[in-house]
C-alpha cells in the first residue's frame, strides 16, 4: 500500500519531497490532476467532484491512505468527503491540520475550549477558492481566540508556477504581499496556504520582512504523516509508487524535474 499524495498540479511535490526524505522507507504514489489545474479559480462543487474522482482512483490503485496535498481541495472537499462517508479501511487527510497545530501549539485531538495563543495577527496567502471558503479561519476558531486573520487571494501565482514562469510568479507574489500589507501592515506570522507557494518561500519572506514568521507546509505535513503512521501502522505497507498525471506526461515531467531539481517521470493516469 503506497501512500497516495494528491494535488491539482505540481504544488504537492513540495510536500512529497520532504515526506520522502522524512520517511525514506515509505512508497508514495503522486497524482497530479494537471488537466484541470489550477483548482483555485473553480467553484466548490467542481473542486469536490474532481478531488473525489482522484481520491477514488488512488484508493482503487491500493493507496488506502491519501493526503490532499492541496489546500484548495482540503478547503472545498475534505470535510464534505468525510461527511459523505469514507470506505472501511480507507483514509483521506488534508494539509490544514498540521498547520493549525503548529500555529496554535496544540494537538488536533485536544478538544479543550479555544484559548488565546501567542500569534495574534496572521496573514494568509492562498488561492481565491481557499480564501472564499474561509476553511482555515473556521478550523482555527475551534482552537484559538483573538487571532486576526487577513486573507489575500493570490490570483495568477499557481498558473505562473505551472507554466514554469517563475519571474512572473515572483512579481505576482510581491504584488500580493504589498496588497496584504495595506490591509495588515505588521503581521506576526504568514501562512503559505497553497502547496505551490513554498517554491517561492524566499520571495514571500523577503517581501514580508525578516521579522515575520513564515509557515510552510512541507515539514509540518511530513512530520504529521510520520506521527500518523506510527499511530496507525495498518496504513503502512509496501506498494507501487510513482507519478501520475491527467495532463501531458512529458510536459509535467519536465516541469517537475525543474522544480525538484531531480529527474521525475510522470505517467498518464
* Cα–Cα dist 198/247, whole Å: 22
SS3 letters across the chain: CCEEEEECCCCCHHHHHHHHHHCCCCCEEEEECHHHCCHHHCCHHHHHHHHHHHHHHHHHCCCCEEEECCHHHHHHHHHHHHHHCCCCCCEEECCHHHHHHHHHCCCCCCCCCCEECCCCEEEEEECHHHHHHCHHHHHHHCCEECCEEEEEECCCHHHHHHCCCHHHHHHHHHHHHHHHHHHCCCCCEEEECCCCHHHHHHHHHHHHCCCCEEECHHHHHHHHHHHHHHHCHHHCCCCCCEEEECCCHHHHHHHHHHHHCCCCCCEEC
Which residue among 194, 221, 252, 256 is the active-site one?
194
Which residue among 5, 26, 69, 70 is the active-site one?
70
Residue showing cell 494535488: 7
Other CB atoms within 10 Å distance of the CB of residue 192:
27
Other CB atoms within 10 Å distance of the CB of residue 92:
25
Cα 226 to Cα 85, 116, 131, 202: the distances in Å are 25, 28, 28, 26
Q: Do the Cβ atoms of 70 and 42 come closer than 8 Å?
A: no
Q: Is 194 a catalytic residue?
A: yes
Q: So which residues are the catalytic ones?
A: 70, 194
Amino acid at each position: 500500500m503506497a501512500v497516495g499524495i494528491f494535488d491539482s498540479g505540481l504544488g504537492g511535490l513540495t510536500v512529497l519531497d520532504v515526506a520522502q526524505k522524512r520517511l525514506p522507507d515509505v512508497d508514495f504514489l503522486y497524482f497530479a490532476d494537471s488537466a484541470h489545474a489550477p483548482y483555485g479559480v473553480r467553484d466548490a462543487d467542481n473542486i469536490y467532484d474532481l478531488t473525489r474522482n482522484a481520491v477514488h482512483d488512488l484508493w482503487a490503485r491500493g493507496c488506502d491512505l491519501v493526503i490532499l496535498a492541496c489546500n484548495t481541495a482540503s478547503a472545498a472537499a475534505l470535510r464534505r468527503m468525510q461527511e459523505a462517508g469514507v470506505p472501511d479501511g480507507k483514509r483521506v487527510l488534508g494539509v490544514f491540520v498540521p498547520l493549525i497545530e503548529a500555529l496554535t501549539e496544540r494537538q488536533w485531538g485536544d478538544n479543550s475550549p479555544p484559548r488565546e495563543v501567542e500569534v495574534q495577527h496572521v496573514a494568509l496567502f492562498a488561492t481565491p477558492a481557499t480564501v472564499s471558503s474561509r476553511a482555515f479561519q473556521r478550523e482555527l476558531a475551534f482552537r484559538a481566540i483573538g487571532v486576526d486573520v487577513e486573507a489575500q487571494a493570490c490570483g495568477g501565482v499557481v498558473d505562473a508556477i505551472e507554466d514554469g514562469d517563475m519571474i512572473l510568479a515572483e512579481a505576482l507574489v510581491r504584488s500580493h504581499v504589498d496588497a496584504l500589507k495595506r490591509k495588515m501592515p505588521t503581521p506576526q506570522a504568514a501562512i503559505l496556504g497553497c502547496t505551490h507557494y513554498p517554491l517561492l518561500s524566499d520571495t514571500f519572506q523577503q517581501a514580508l520582512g525578516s521579522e515575520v514568521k513564515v509557515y510552510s507546509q512541507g515539514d509540518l505535513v511530513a512530520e504529521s504523516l510520520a506521527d500518523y503512521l506510527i499511530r496507525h501502522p495498518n496504513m503502512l505497507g509496501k506498494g507501487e509508487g510513482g507519478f501520475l498525471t491527467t495532463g501531458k506526461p512529458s510536459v509535467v515531467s519536465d516541469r517537475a524535474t525543474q522544480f525538484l531539481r531531480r529527474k521525475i517521470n510522470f505517467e498518464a493516469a
